[in-house]
């Protein structure tokens, strides 16, 4: 019998599904700092969050000394449903010509019995002020290079604060 997701040691023990239906083991991010974000492109906060995450991704992704990855999970528990094509189009129209700023995975629910193991694990390790409940899109989980959640943040975090947190984990 597989142990409960909450008992996992890191995000690297989980598999998620990409937009093409392929299973992706999160162990591919070993050695990287990750930002894991539930989102909806129809949410008013979408552009603000992209403007927060884009400079970080551009600065720290695939640098020879540092590596930052952003994992986006569409979530429609808090608003309108979108097709995978709509999601990709909105990301592409909202980012500059240098391309995507992370990877987009398949739609999930972040609360309730249908929440994937990854989110059950993240909420157990960093329950936040809502006691393990996510109350809106753009909840950001920051993990260290060992895949362990170290912070649970919201879209209102100051860009310099987030950059300092990421920089400290990349040292």
Among the listed residues 168, 141, 160, 156, the one whose alpha carbon sits nearest the alpha carbon of residue 69: 141
Q: Taking the CB of residue 40, how many other CB atoms lie within 10 A of it?
A: 23
Domains of the chain (ranges; CATH) run 20-170 (3.40.30.10)
Predicted TM-score of the model (pTM): 0.91
Does the structure show a pLDDT above 80 at 60?
Answer: yes
Q: What is the mean pLDDT of residues 41-69?
A: 85
Q: What are phi and psi of 153, to 5 degrees?
A: -130, 165
Q: What is the mean pLDDT of residues 52-81?
A: 86
* Average pLDDT of the chain to the nearest whole number: 90
Q: What is the mean pLDDT of residues 90-113?
A: 83
Q: Model confidence at 33, in pLDDT bands (50, 70, 90)?
A: very high
23 burial class (0-12, 13-18, 19+ CB within 10 angstroms)? exposed
Identify whether the C-beta of residue 60 lies closer than 8 Å to the C-beta of residue 166.
Answer: yes
CA 153 vs. chain centroid, Å, equals 11
Does the structure show a pLDDT above 50 at 118?
Answer: yes
Q: Give the span between the Cα atoms of 87 and 78, in whole angstroms.
A: 16
Q: What is the DSSP string of 25-47?
A: EGGGGTTSEEEEEEE-TTSTTHH
pLDDT on residue 98: 60
Q: Which residue has the higher pLDDT, 88 or 70?
A: 70
pLDDT on residue 130: 82
């Amino acid at each position: 019998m597989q142990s409960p997701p909450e008992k996992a040691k890191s995000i690297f023990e989980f598999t998620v599904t990409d937009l093409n239906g392929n299973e992706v083991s999160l162990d591919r991010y070993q050695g990287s700092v990750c930002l894991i974000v539930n989102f909806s492109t129809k949410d008013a906060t979408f552009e603000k969050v992209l403007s927060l995450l884009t400079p970080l991704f551009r600065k720290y992704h695939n640098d020879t000394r540092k590596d930052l990855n952003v994992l986006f999970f569409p979530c429609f528990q808090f608003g309108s449903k979108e097709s995978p094509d709509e999601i990709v189009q909105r990301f592409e129209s909202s980012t500059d010509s240098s391309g995507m700023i992370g990877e987009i995975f398949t739609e999930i629910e972040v609360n309730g019995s249908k929440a994937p193991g990854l989110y059950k694990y993240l909420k157990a390790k960093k329950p936040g002020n809502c006691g393990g409940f996510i109350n809106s899109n753009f909840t950001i989980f920051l993990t260290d290079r060992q895949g362990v959640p170290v912070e649970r943040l919201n879209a209102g975090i100051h860009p310099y604060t987030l950059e300092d947190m990421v920089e400290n984990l990349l040292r």
